[in-house]
Amino acid sequence: MWLRYRPLSTKTAVKCQNCGHESLLISQCLGLCSDCIRHHFDQVLPIIKQAHYEARKPFALPPYPPRAEGGKTCHICVNECSIAEGEVSYCGLRTYIDGRLKGATANLAKVSWYYDPLPTNCVADWVCPAGTGAGYPDFAYRQGVEYGYKNLAVFYQACSFDCLFCQNWHYRQLVSSRTWVKASKLAEAVNDDTACICFFGGDPTPQLPHAIYASRLALEKNQGRILRICWETNGSMHPALLKQMLELSLNSGGCIKFDLKAWSEEIHIALCGVSNNRTLDNFRFLAGYIKRRPSPPLLVASTLLVSGYIDKEEVARIAAFISSLDPDIPYALLAFHPDFLMTDLLATSRHQAMECLEAARAAGLSRVRLGNIHLLHD
């Protein structure tokens, strides 16, 4: 596995296994250029599948969502695993034993949390109440940055995707040592200084019933004061769960941040192992509710500018999609740091970032931001 960061000075060109083109913008773990992925997808799909098989094998995760005939089906996310007796779900959280699905539930989850003083490095802090005071006095404690308050940052230790560039992949190493945590214990972590709860990970999607239940317990316990419920997610959840997330965030002043990792389904499958169709459908659904609470913004989008794969073409298409729904939806472009299996790629270049920023603005979006600028290189 390529888990050790290689300095930029030692980066060498990699040859695409399909077309033979050599480039610094091809990762060894995938071995394919973006053009071959976009235009010769069926031809290179076996290579893509092998890359994800290798990515998941060290963590004892299934190489693809189980599709057992007559198995027990989980409907939490887009993968809809059909799990045979003794098998494990794609996220690694559920197994089918003695005719029952066992593992993560509304009451039990693999999760940890910490307190993050406001303002934080949250992707949405440039438009949310914690970083700007948006929605004051209904949804913010101050007319500006909420100094003196904290975010309860809740990290769910599983994911419905398999991103080869994952920035938080280390949770996979904790599989055997993780303990189940009750929703009530998480809700009790909210104290008088907590202004918001942000669910992220991994991704909250595979354990959404737990996050939703814990949110309701926390809100019930803290009635009469501001407590925003926020999410950072890949957006692959079942629509019925998304509606519950929507209700919690809309009423509490929280935001739902979708990580739109790619526009091209082919690129998305190559990088993340899973289609992005559900994500785009769910984003479109949420956009229909943003006029109900213009401030603070309900829906925020972001894209990580993975070198060699998420270029101005991808960003332009994503931005056009967002703009067609509402040009005022905030969109953050994030500089990429080489991580997990893609440590051999360069960090996002300043040239790539500026091209993507211009493409997003040209699509008609009124609120676009470039984040992680300290990672950019010339």
| Final residue in a domain of this structure, among 103, 124, 157 | 103
Q: Does residue 214 belong to any structural domain of this protein?
A: yes
Residue found by looking up tokens 């913008």 in the block? 25
Q: Does residue 367 belong to any structural domain of this protein?
A: yes
Indicate if 238 and 254 belong to the same structural domain. yes
Q: Does residue 54 belong to any structural domain of this protein?
A: no
> What CA–CA distance (Å, rounded) separates 343 from 335?
14
Indicate if 122 and 155 belong to the same structural domain. yes
166 — pLDDT class (breaks 50, 70, 90):
very high
Higher-confidence residue of 122 and 264: namely 264
Q: Does residue 10 belong to any structural domain of this protein?
A: no
Indicate if 133 and 94 belong to the same structural domain. no
Q: Quick one: 178 exposed, middle or buried, by C-beta within 10 A (0-12, 13-18, 19+)?
A: middle
Taken as a whole, the chain contains a residue count of 378
pLDDT exceeds 50 at position 7: no
pLDDT exceeds 80 at position 4: no
Q: Does residue 352 belong to any structural domain of this protein?
A: yes
pLDDT exceeds 80 at position 222: yes
Indicate if 84 and 146 belong to the same structural domain. no
| Final residue in a domain of this structure, among 103, 125, 157 | 103
Q: How many domains does the chain have?
A: 2
* Range 347-373 average pLDDT: 97
Q: Does residue 2 belong to any structural domain of this protein?
A: no
Indicate if 87 and 206 belong to the same structural domain. no
Indicate if 83 and 205 belong to the same structural domain. no
Domain that holds residue 370: 108-375
Indicate if 176 and 202 belong to the same structural domain. yes
Indicate if 239 and 156 belong to the same structural domain. yes
How much is the pLDDT for 73?
95
Indicate if 151 and 112 belong to the same structural domain. yes
Beta bridge partners of 229: 197
Domain with 126 in it: what CATH number?
A: 3.20.20.70
Please provide the average confidence, as pLDDT, over all residues in the chain: 94
Of 43, 96, 92, 110, nearest to 270 (Cα)? 43
71 — pLDDT class (breaks 50, 70, 90):
very high
* Range 233-249 average pLDDT: 98
Evaluate the CA torsion angle 111, 161, 312, 5 in order and state its sign: positive
Q: Does residue 215 belong to any structural domain of this protein?
A: yes
| Final residue in a domain of this structure, among 87, 103, 119 | 103
Q: Does residue 12 belong to any structural domain of this protein?
A: no
Indicate if 167 and 233 belong to the same structural domain. yes
- E strands, the chain, are 14-15, 22-23, 72-73, 82-83, 94-97, 100-103, 108-117, 150-156, 180-182, 194-201, 228-233, 256-259, 299-305, 331-335, 368-371
Indicate if 81 and 184 belong to the same structural domain. no
Indicate if 94 and 163 belong to the same structural domain. no
What does the pLDDT look like over 81-125, one tens digit per residue? 999 999 999 999 999 998 888 999 999 999 999 999 999 988 999
